[in-house]
Structure 1
Amino acid sequence: MNKQKRTEIFTRLRAENPNPETELEYNSPFELLLAVALSAQATDVSVNKATRKLFPVANTPQAILQLGEDGLKDYIKTIGLFNSKAKNAIKMCQMLVELHDGEVPQQRKLLEALPGVGRKTANVVLNTAFKQPVMAVDTHIFRVSNRTKIAPGKNVDEVEDKLMRFVPKEFLMDAHHWLILHGRYTCVARKPKCGSCIIEDLCEFKDKTEV
C-alpha cells in the first residue's frame, strides 16, 4: 500500500470521527491503567460495568490496597481471569505506591515493569492518558492492519513497528483509536462489513463481502 492511500484512509477515518476516544470509562491515568489491565481477554463493556461500582469506592493505588485482594475480587468477579487480575492489581498498586508515590509513570519501561502490564497496556496508557504518539496493537488493530494492508505483519511487534513508520504523522496520535473502532464495528473478525465500509475502495483485502 502506498503513502497516498494510507493518507486518504486516515483522512476519511478522521472525518467520520474527529475526536476518537477509548470506550473504557476513566477519570485519571490510574483508572485508565487499571481498566486496561482488567480488559485483557475481556470486553470493555464488562470492565466498565465493574469499574462503575469500583471506582466510586476505590480509584487510587492506596485505596485499592486498602480494599485488599479479596475486596477487589468482589468488584471484578464478573470479568474473565479475575483471580489473577486481582493479584496483579494489588502488586501493581504496591509498586506504584512504593516506587512512584502513587502516580502512574509516563515512561514505557517503568509501566511495563508493573505486574500485569505488558507493552500493549503501556502503549494504551501512554497514548490515551499522556498523549504520546504510540501504537497499541490489539487483535482488532492486528486484523485491520493485515486485511487492509495498511501495515501487514506476522506478529503484533511487526505491525506496531510498521504502523509507527507508515502512518502519516498528522494521524499518529489518534490512529490507535480509529483502527480499533474500525475493527470492532466494521472490519469484524468473522465477516467484515465491507459494503458499509468508508475505506472499502482503498482497502486491499481480497475476500470482500457485500454486507
Structure 2
Amino acid sequence: MAVKNMSKKQIEIFFQRLQQQRPHPQTELNFSSPFELLVAVALSAQATDVSVNKATDKLFPVANTPETIYALGVDGLKPYIRTIGLYNSKAENIIKACKILIEQHHSQVPDNRKDLEALPGVGRKTANVVLNTAFGQPTMAVDTHIFRLGNRTGLAVGKNVLEVEQRLLKVIPKAYMLDAHHWLILHGRYCCTARKPKCDQCIVADVCQWPDRFEFGATRPTTKFKN
C-alpha cells in the first residue's frame, strides 16, 4: 500500500511534538570548531557517530586544525582512524582537503556549498551538515535515517535522497527548519528504526501515514486531520 503524503496540519503537529521532545537538538558527533565538525562528518560516512567520536577523541587533542592534521600526513593520520570503515580513502581525502583549506581558504572552513563540495570527500550531505550545524543555515542533510523516515511516514516521499531533501525543504515550516535535520535523524535513529520501529512509543504515530504502524503497536488515531 502506497504511503500518503502528510497534510500541512499533520506536518505542523509532527514538528511541534519533536520540538517539545527535544527543544535543543544537537548532533551526536563531538566537535568544537567548524573544522573539527567537517572532519568528523567526513569520517562518519558508512560509520556510526560512536565510532567516529572514539577516533576523534584521540585525534583532536593531537591535531585539530588543517595545518596540524596536514602535518601528520596520510600515514600519520591513519592510525587514529583505523577503526573506521574506508579509513584509507578517508585519510587521503582529509589530507587533500586540509591542503586546499590552507592554500585557498586561509585555513577556514567555507560557509558556502560550492567551496565545501569542492573539497575531496565532501559531498552534498556532508556540506549540508556543516552548513546547518556549524553555520546555522537552513539546509537538510538526508542520511539513511531521514530517507527512511521521510518515505515511511509520508513526510517526504521520494525515490532518492535528493528528491526527499527537496521535498523536505518545501514542506517543513520555516519555524522548524533550522533544527529539523537533527530532529529527524534522532527520531529515525532511536524511534523510527529500520527493522523494529517503536511505533508504540512514537509521539507522532497518530499523524504518521505508514499503514503498517499499527502492527508495531501504534494506537489508531481518533482525530481526522485536514490541510
Q: What TM-score do the two structures reach when normalised by structure 2?
A: 0.92
Determine whether 1:43 maps to 2:48: yes
Determine whether 1:126 maps to 2:108: no
Which of 147, 168, 172 pairs up with 1:163?
168
SS at match of 1:201: coil
In our comparison, the structure showing a higher alpha carbon Rg is 2
CA distance in 1, matches of 2:73, 2:54: 20
Which of 6, 25, 28 pairs up with 1:23?
28
Structure 1 gaps, min length 5: none
Deviations 1:76-131 (A, max 9, x none): 00111100000000001011011101000000010000000000000000000000
Structure 2 gaps, min length 5: 1-5, 219-227
Question: What's the offset of the Cα at 1:2?
Answer: 1.0
Match of 1:72 in 2: 77
Question: What's the offset of the Cα at 1:191?
Answer: 1.4
Match of 1:14 in 2: 19
Match of 1:100 in 2: 105
Number of equivalences: 211
Between 1 and 2, higher relative CO (CA 8 Å, sep ≥ 6) is seen in: 2
Question: What's the offset of the Cα at 1:210?
Answer: 1.8
Question: What's the offset of the Cα at 1:35?
Answer: 0.1
Counterpart residue identity of residue 162, structure 2: D
Deviations 1:121-151 (A, max 9, x none): 0000000000000100000000001111011
SS at match of 2:109: coil
CA distance in 2, matches of 1:24, 1:126: 15
Deviations 1:136-183 (A, max 9, x none): 000000000111101110100000001000000000000000000000
Match of 1:82 in 2: 87
CA distance in 2, matches of 1:4, 1:98: 49
Counterpart residue identity of residue 72, structure 1: L
- Output the aligned Cα RMSD: 0.7
Q: What TM-score do the two structures reach when normalised by structure 1?
A: 0.99
CA distance in 1, matches of 2:176, 2:8: 13
CA distance in 1, matches of 2:208, 2:103: 48
Percentage of pairs with the same residue? 66
